[in-house]
Amino acid sequence: MRPKVLGLAVALLVAAMAPAAAVISAPKEQPPKVSDAQRKQGMAEAPAVAQAAGVACQVTDARFVGKVPGDKKKGTPDTSFYEVACGPGGMGYVLQAAVGAPSSSFTCVEANTPGPDGKAPSLPCLLPGNADPKAALGPALSKAGAQCTPTAARGIGHTSTQTFLEVACQEGSGYIAIGSAPFDIAKPVQAQNCLNYDDANGNIKCMLADKASRLAVVDRLATAATKSSCTVKDRRFVGSSKEGADFYEASCADGKGYILKANGTTLAQSWDCAHAEGILGGCQLTDARQAATQEAALYTKLAKNSGADCAVTKYALFPQKDANEVVELVCSTGNSLVGIFPATGKGQVLDCGHALVAGYKCSLGKADYSLLTADLQKFNAKSCTVSNARPAAKTTKGTILVEVACADGLPGYMIEYTPSPVAAVGATGCRFAGNCQLPGNKTS
């Protein structure tokens, strides 16, 4: 899981974004028209410069921007500038070609970004094909798993291998797009939620929108998770997974709270605070301890209604397979049970041995295998007190085989069960059954 504060120790070469371009006059309010002579010279010279700069560009239009004479006293060479439009659907670039030095490039997003003082960029892209450079970022972000229709973009800077751009999205989110240098939308682009950077102390920040607007997605996710029963009082960004999912916390006006997992702006999963302890540290905006106490009392009641006497002190949800809620319950005795509770009606509570037949393994409390011992006695295996068990296989007829080990260390048994209802229908010693793997059960 990627932490909220990434602390990227990247020395961004922001100054490199316009090394010699500052000496070129800033554009007037109305951008100058591109002359035929500029296009002719650009189309003749820019493709070679783009190739030298390592830019993947099928040049569809180009212009010669201008030339800055070198200064022998300062040791600066003659430098020429070009703009290229790339197709189909490619990102446009401003190219810099200095005599006797490597050529370099900057995306039109970077070239169009105002300076730190807010002044207009000194070398913006003017070609018609580069009129909307942010549009090329949409497909790249989509491939990275981000739901983003770009509404604005700006250049942050780049290192020798990476380019950093900020993108604001119509959906309300924002991303730091991290791509190659030179930037190539055909290569993988990382899309990292701007919320990862809002409270970080690094040198990357999102500035195209504020944190509050980016957190507005929490209200929509909470509505989807609770069917509109949660009026969000407070909201928090929890973190992002390495797979790209984002996690949020919502605190509701009624005192309840939730951890919400989202793919972009789409709800993927949710947990109420009583069940969210293991999700990135759980809830912080809601009193999760009180919620957990209330939930333990509820499970005690559900277990009793299902015929089990268990004062629940701890619990954990199993991943949901169907409409039932399946929970491991730790009773005041220290023993675990597995409760299978439907949305309405009476549930079912299984001991840890029989829970294996249903596909669930206890892990929080002590596993009591006394009922498996009783099952063996039905088949005259009266000398075995079951000390360990594991699900072994499903037969072609649909029954489940559970391997058990005996406390005396002698080879154990394979017990055959029908899954619904759970009932023992046979037992075979490991000397004859084969596939026994528990310690003491291997016969060869």
Q: How far apart are CA 316 and CA 338, in angstroms?
A: 10
H helix intervals, 216-287:
217-226
User: pLDDT (tens digit, 9 = 90+) per residue, 124-156?
Assistant: 999 999 999 999 999 999 999 888 999 999 999
Q: How far apart are CA 309 and CA 329, in angstroms?
A: 11
Cβ–Cβ < 8 Å for 81, 24: yes
The gap from C-alpha 373 to its chain's centroid, in whole angstroms, comes to 45
Q: Mean pLDDT in the chain?
A: 88
Answer yes or no: is pLDDT of 288 > 90: no
426: how many CB neighbours lie within 10 A of its CB? 14
| pLDDT classification of 278: cutoffs 50, 70, 90 | confident
Q: How far apart are CA 211 and CA 237, in angstroms?
A: 10
Q: What contacts 219, CB < 8 A, 6 or more positions away?
A: 232, 235, 250
| pLDDT classification of 1: cutoffs 50, 70, 90 | very low
Q: How far apart are CA 421 and CA 360, in angstroms?
A: 15
Looking at residue 289, what is its pLDDT? Answer: 61
Cβ–Cβ < 8 Å for 176, 146: no
User: pLDDT (tens digit, 9 = 90+) per residue, 171-185?
Assistant: 999 999 999 999 999
Q: What contacts 76, CB < 8 A, 6 or more positions away?
A: 20, 70
Cα-flanking dihedrals φ and ψ of residue 202, to 5°? Answer: -75, -175
Tokens of 320: 């949901």
Tokens of 261: 């997992």
Q: How far apart are CA 163 and CA 157, in angstroms?
A: 6
Please list the residues that pair with 79 across neighbouring strands: 68, 98
Looking at residue 30, what is its pLDDT? Answer: 62
Task: List the Cα angle 406/410/413 in 5-degree steps.
Answer: 55
Cβ–Cβ < 8 Å for 83, 130: yes
ω before 121 within 30° of 0 (cis)? Answer: no
Tokens of 116: 């730190």
Tell me what the mean pLDDT of segment 89-108 comes to. Answer: 93
User: pLDDT (tens digit, 9 = 90+) per residue, 8-44?
Assistant: 223 233 333 333 333 334 444 566 789 999 999 999 9
Q: How far apart are CA 128 and CA 113, in angstroms?
A: 17
Comparing 183 with 275, the larger pLDDT belongs to: 183
Write a three-state SS string for 43-70. HHHHHHHHHHCCCCCCEEEEEEEEEECC
Tell me what the mean pLDDT of segment 352-360 comes to. Answer: 95
Cβ–Cβ < 8 Å for 278, 320: no
Cβ–Cβ < 8 Å for 213, 173: no
